[in-house]
Amino acid sequence: MAHAEAYKDPGTPEEQTRRTFMANAVLALGGVIGLGLAIPLVTSLIPPNDANADPWSPLTPDEIAALKKATDNKPVKVTFMLHESNGYFGAVDLEQFFWAIRADEATMRKKRPQLFEGIEKVPYPVVNLGFVVFSPICPHLGCKYTWTDSINKFACPCHGSQFTNVGEHVAGPALRGLDPLPLRDFQGKVQVEWIEYKQNTPDHIILKVG
């Protein structure tokens, strides 16, 4: 059938002006619709700010007993319950753990001076209650490393980073040593503060507290 018959006659100048207006109006109204839709849709993707109000997790008597088994040479693994919000499941207690050794401030300043001064400096006290507590997250790409008796080091299964008992980086691709976590005695209760640092950077950039 006949096609585009109407387009053969360019029309009067007045008609042409009118058509320019209509074409622009289509684009403008379309743009307003697109924006009006994009704003609520993109807004919905912003993570809701329902982060845990209290970043400190208490340790039970059993967990404190496990912590106390740490020596200054051999670290211990201590599990605890971390209170976390999990979308529409709400707040849940998830099992989490950290590694701990006994140490004093002078030893740590000697063995890991970068934690106290310079680019690797952490914004929290390193030694608390006579312990140093390490986040279980490998500072390379976030796998969970483990203490390996045969080499007397922490070793990460994913890419082979190794750390001494005080968390000093000695082998593998990690860019910094293990990250200490704050520990405190709050009104007679021992509590640990969960902090996640950005991985694969030499400095300590806080991503999440609690």
Partner 1 sequence: MLTWLDQRTGLVTLTKDFLTEDVPGGASYWYAFGSATLFALILQIATGIFLCFFYAPSTSTAWESTDYLIKHVPAGALVLSLHYWGASAMIAFMTMHLLQGLLWGAYKKPRELQWIVGVLLFILTLVLGLTGYLLPWDLNALLASKVAIQIAGSAPILGPAILSFLQDGSGIGTLTINRFFGIHVWLVPALLVGLVGLHLAIFRWNGPAGPPIDEAPKLKPGRFWPDQMFMDTVLSFAMFVIVVALAVFAPAPFDAKADPNNTQFVPYPAWYFLALYALLDVVGKFPPAIVQISTLFATIIMPGVLVALLIVLPFIDRNPSRRPSRRPWILGITALTIVGAIGLSFFGQYNVVEGQVARGLVGGTAGNAATTGGSPQIETQPGNNANGGGATAGGPGSATAGATVYTTNCSSCHAANGQGTPSVAPPLAGNDVVTGDPQKVIGIVVNGLNGKITVKGQEWNGTMPPWKGTLTNKQIADVVTYIRSSWGNKAPPVTEADVAKAAGGK
Q: Pick the closer one to partner 1 by CB: 94 or 205.
A: 94
From 12, 88, 123, 187, residue interacting with partner 1 (rule: CB under 8 A): 88
Using the 8-state DSSP alphabet, how is residue 144 labeled? B
Determine which residue in the list 12, 13, 35, 48 makes contact with partner 1, applying CB under 8 A: 48
Interaction of residue 51 with partner 1, rule CB under 8 A? no
How many residues sit in the footprint of partner 1 (CB under 8 A)? 32
Name the segment binding partner 1 (CB under 8 A); options: 16-24, 100-108, 158-166, 188-196.
16-24
Q: How far is the CB of 7 from partner 1 (least distance, A)?
A: 5
Residue with tokens 């209650």: 129
Rounded Cα distance, 181 and 193, in Å? 6
2 or 207: whose CB is closer to partner 1?
A: 2
Does position 33 interact with partner 1 (CB under 8 A)? The reply is yes
Q: Is 41 in the site for partner 1 (CB under 8 A)?
A: yes
Strand partners, 186: 189
**Which residue has tokens 């585009």?**
4
Encode 193-205 in three state secondary structure.
Answer: ECEEECCCCCCCC
By beta-carbon proximity to partner 1, the closer residue of 52 and 162 is 52
Kindly write down the DSSP assignment for every residue of 140-190, as one continuous string: TTSPBPEEETTTTEEE-TTT--EE-TT--EEESS-SS-PPEE-EEEETTEE
Report how far residue 78's alpha carbon sits from residue 76's, in angstroms, rounded to the nearest whole number: 6
Question: How far apart, in whole angstroms, are the C-alpha atoms of residue 77 and residue 120?
Answer: 24
Q: Under the rule (CB under 8 A), what is the footprint of partner 1?
A: 1-7, 19, 22-23, 25-26, 29-30, 32-33, 36-37, 39-41, 43-46, 48, 50, 87-90, 92
